[in-house]
């Protein structure tokens, strides 16, 4: 067994049940688990194999990213000005050229970006698997970098010839999808506490799969403890038009009709839910992940996060794909999540004086701490984890530290925790995942970043040449 004593953190934000923010904070880690949390004085004299002095740093739990498409960092800054369906139809033919090496290197790039921006656990929704692509490539990338990872085995089975959106060459047979999903569960899914890898079943969207696949995926997931379900839903008004035309119901109604509600289900975006649908999802424990950057980039709309949280709906944050964001920065997502709610149409507790266009009223916005809670404990809840997202005895040793002595944080002494997103985005100075040092003094401990970038560029050129 090895021990690490972290001490003298200017603020140690635990995000525990009491919401403690400890001045001159300290923490003892034994192997990969937090053993004690308190002040430096309280932990003084505690023996440890290694001591890390984080004077002048804010320490908090590593953030949890619950929606991404990492392969898309091979097609950044494309289709800059079109709506979602045009964006998809333009990029599908390029993604059809992907291979397993492309999935592996793009996953590593996406994960490295996330780790730099304070993320220690991520999910990734890999729904296009042409040629020899496998989710195993992403799982290996996570193991290479030391990231805690929930690989989402996505799928598209309804091509253009069957009334779907993707070209036929980008879809798979449903029997093959389910067989591969079961194989992946056997190979990678670990339902134990502090697990580093889990599998999620994730048919892509109502316009790219059949109701039969949605139902069978749910049955398969629920036959294996800890395997959760994920998909896109209510992301675009065109999706609502499609669901009404094909299924005769709204997207949320479609999800319920195929058994996709419950605490083991979370959806990406959920922008166009009605208040009744929000209440229904809250009652069933169904969750959603907010992706503000991508929603703004594609001009889709503003999710009703304030209303969702007030209704008791489980909400997390996700960076979404790097072709619709076009980055992987969790500090930035938390910042935009906070700010975007302040311009949302539902920002008032009551109608402001002068009618809908007037000023005044009582704004009920998203606070910095609520945004950071979505990015930590909210994401942990969506993934079905009770061992990450907070710093408390018995929790996984996933934590980050940001140095306050830098230009962008000068003058933030009154609330340095809120400053991490209100003044950001920033890169972390330290990142520990499962008790292992991944970043120290702003540099990766074991990743050759220039070599990774060169490999990524070569793969991108090969994909485009195809």
Give the model confidence (pLDDT) of 330-374 as tens digits. Answer: 999 999 999 999 887 654 444 444 433 333 444 568 999 999 999
Task: Check whether 126 has a pLDDT greater than 80.
Answer: yes
pLDDT of residue 411: 95
Tokens encoding 41? 């004085």
Q: What contacts 24+ positions apart, CB below 8 Å, involve 255-259?
A: 255/206, 255/231, 255/286, 256/280, 257/211, 258/211, 258/214, 258/215, 258/218, 259/214, 259/215, 259/218, 259/219
- Please, which residues have CB within 8 angstroms of residue 179's CB and are 6 or more apart in sequence? none
Let me know if 160 is exposed, middle or buried by CB neighbors in 10 A (0-12, 13-18, 19+).
middle
pLDDT of residue 356: 36
pLDDT of residue 353: 40
- pLDDT band of residue 305 (cuts 50, 70, 90) is very high
pLDDT of residue 43: 98
* 326 prior amide bond cis, ω within 30: yes
State the average pLDDT over residues 378-392.
98
pLDDT of residue 364: 67
- pLDDT band of residue 236 (cuts 50, 70, 90) is confident
Taking the C-alpha atoms of residue 237 and residue 243, their distance in angstroms, rounded to an integer, is 10
Taking the C-alpha atoms of residue 420 and residue 136, their distance in angstroms, rounded to an integer, is 34
**C-beta separation of 64 from 388 below 8 A:** yes
pLDDT of residue 345: 62
Taking the C-alpha atoms of residue 237 and residue 301, their distance in angstroms, rounded to an integer, is 9
Strand duo 21-30 + 265-269: pairing = unpaired
pLDDT of residue 362: 46
pLDDT of residue 360: 41
pLDDT of residue 74: 94
State the average pLDDT over residues 227-246.
94
SS3 182: helix
State the average pLDDT over residues 213-224.
98
State the average pLDDT over residues 192-198.
98
Tens digit of each residue's pLDDT (9 = 90 or more) over 266-280: 999 999 999 999 999
- The continuous run of DSSP H or E covering 151 comes out as strand 148-155
pLDDT of residue 325: 87
Q: What's the whole-number average pLDDT of the chain?
A: 93
Q: Euclidean distance between the first and final Cα of the chain, in Å?
A: 50
Nearest Cα neighbor of 409 from 395, 386, 429 is 429
Strand duo 197-203 + 148-155: pairing = parallel
Whole-number percent of the chain with pLDDT over 90: 81
Let me know if 117 is exposed, middle or buried by CB neighbors in 10 A (0-12, 13-18, 19+).
buried
Tens digit of each residue's pLDDT (9 = 90 or more) over 197-208: 999 999 999 988
**C-beta separation of 288 from 311 below 8 A:** no
Whole-number percent of the chain with pLDDT over 70: 95
**C-beta separation of 408 from 434 below 8 A:** no
Dihedral (CA of 162, 165, 168, 173) sign: negative
State the average pLDDT over residues 36-62.
97
Tokens encoding 89? 């139809």
Nearest Cα neighbor of 443 from 116, 57, 111 is 116
pLDDT of residue 207: 86
Let me know if 253 is exposed, middle or buried by CB neighbors in 10 A (0-12, 13-18, 19+).
middle
Helix-strand-coil split of the chain, %, nearest 5: 40, 20, 40
The domain covering 3-62+386-444 belongs, at the CATH homologous superfamily level, to Urease, subunit C, domain 1 (2.30.40.10)
pLDDT of residue 354: 40
- Please, which residues have CB within 8 angstroms of residue 175's CB and are 6 or more apart in sequence? none
Q: Annotate 145-154 with b (16+ C-beta within 10 A) or e (fewer).
A: bbbbbbbbbb
> Over the Cα atoms of the chain, what is R_g?
22
Q: What is the pTM for the complete model shown?
A: 0.95
pLDDT of residue 350: 41
Question: Between residues 78 and 111, which one has the greater pLDDT?
Answer: 111
**C-beta separation of 191 from 225 below 8 A:** yes
pLDDT of residue 403: 98
Q: Longest C-alpha distance within the chain, in Å?
A: 70
pLDDT of residue 169: 84
Q: Which residues pair with 349 in a beta bridge?
A: none
pLDDT of residue 465: 84
- The continuous run of DSSP H or E covering 84 comes out as helix 84-95
Strand positions, DSSP E, 204-314: 228-233, 265-269, 287-290
What residue segments make up the domains of the chain, in order of their start? Answer: 3-62+386-444
Q: Kindly state the DSSP code that residue 223 receives in the 8-state scheme.
A: T
Residues 62, 63, 64, 70, Cα dihedral to 10°: -100
- Residue 163 has phi, psi (to 5 degrees) of 90, 10
pLDDT of residue 348: 44
Taking the C-alpha atoms of residue 313 and residue 279, their distance in angstroms, rounded to an integer, is 8
Question: Between residues 55 and 325, which one has the greater pLDDT?
Answer: 55
Return the minimum-mean-pLDDT range out of 163-177, 198-212, 405-419: 163-177
Taking the C-alpha atoms of residue 325 and residue 57, their distance in angstroms, rounded to an integer, is 29
């Amino acid at each position: 067994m090895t021990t690490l004593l972290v001490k003298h953190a200017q603020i140690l934000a635990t995000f525990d049940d009491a919401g403690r923010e400890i001045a001159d904070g300290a923490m003892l880690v034994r192997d990969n688990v937090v053993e004690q949390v308190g002040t430096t004085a309280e932990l003084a004299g505690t023996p440890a194999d290694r001591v890390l002095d984080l004077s002048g740093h804010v320490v908090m739990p590593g953030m949890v990213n619950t929606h991404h498409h990492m392969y898309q960092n091979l097609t950044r800054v494309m289709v800059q000005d079109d709506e979602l369906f045009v964006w998809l139809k333009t990029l599908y033919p390029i993604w059809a050229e992907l291979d397993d090496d492309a999935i592996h290197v793009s996953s590593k790039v996406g994960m490295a970006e996330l780790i730099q921006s304070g993320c220690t656990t991520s999910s990734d929704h890999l729904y296009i698997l042409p040629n020899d692509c496998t989710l195993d490539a992403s799982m290996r990338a996570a193991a290479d970098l030391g990231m805690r990872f929930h690989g989402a085995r996505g799928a598209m089975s309804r091509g253009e010839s069957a009334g779907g959106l993707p070209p036929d060459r980008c879809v798979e047979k449903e029997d093959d999808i389910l067989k591969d999903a079961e194989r992946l569960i056997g190979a990678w899914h670990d339902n134990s506490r502090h697990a580093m890898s889990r599998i999620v079943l994730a048919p892509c969207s109502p316009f790219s799969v059949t109701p039969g696949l949605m139902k069978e995926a749910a049955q398969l997931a629920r036959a294996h403890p800890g395997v959760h379900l994920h998909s896109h839903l209510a992301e675009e008004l065109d999706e609502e038009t499609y669901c009404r035309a094909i299924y005769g119901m709204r997207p949320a109604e479609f999800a319920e009709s195929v058994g996709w509600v419950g605490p083991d289900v979370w959806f990406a975006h959920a922008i166009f839910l009605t208040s009744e649908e929000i209440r229904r999802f809250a009652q069933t424990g169904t969750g959603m992940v907010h992706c503000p950057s991508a929603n703004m980039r594609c001009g889709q709309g503003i999710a009703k996060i304030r209303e969702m949280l007030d209704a008791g709906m489980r909400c997390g944050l996700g960076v979404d794909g790097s072709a619709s964001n076009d980055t992987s920065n969790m500090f930035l997502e938390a910042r935009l999540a906070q700010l975007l709610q302040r311009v949302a149409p539902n920002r008032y507790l009551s109608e402001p004086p002068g009618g809908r266009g007037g000023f005044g009223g009582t704004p009920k916005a998203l606070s910095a701490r609520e945004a950071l809670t979505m990015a930590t404990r909210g994401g942990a809840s969506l993934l079905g984890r009770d061992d990450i997202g907070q710093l408390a005895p018995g929790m996984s040793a996933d934590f980050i530290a940001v140095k306050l002595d830098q230009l962008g944080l000068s003058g933030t002494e009154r609330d340095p925790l809120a400053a991490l997103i209100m003044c950001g985005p920033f890169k972390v100075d330290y990142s520990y995942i499962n008790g292992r040092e991944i970043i120290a003094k702003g540099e990766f401990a074991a990743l050759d970043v220039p070599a990774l970038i060169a490999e990524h560029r070569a793969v991108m050129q090969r994909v485009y040449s195809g």
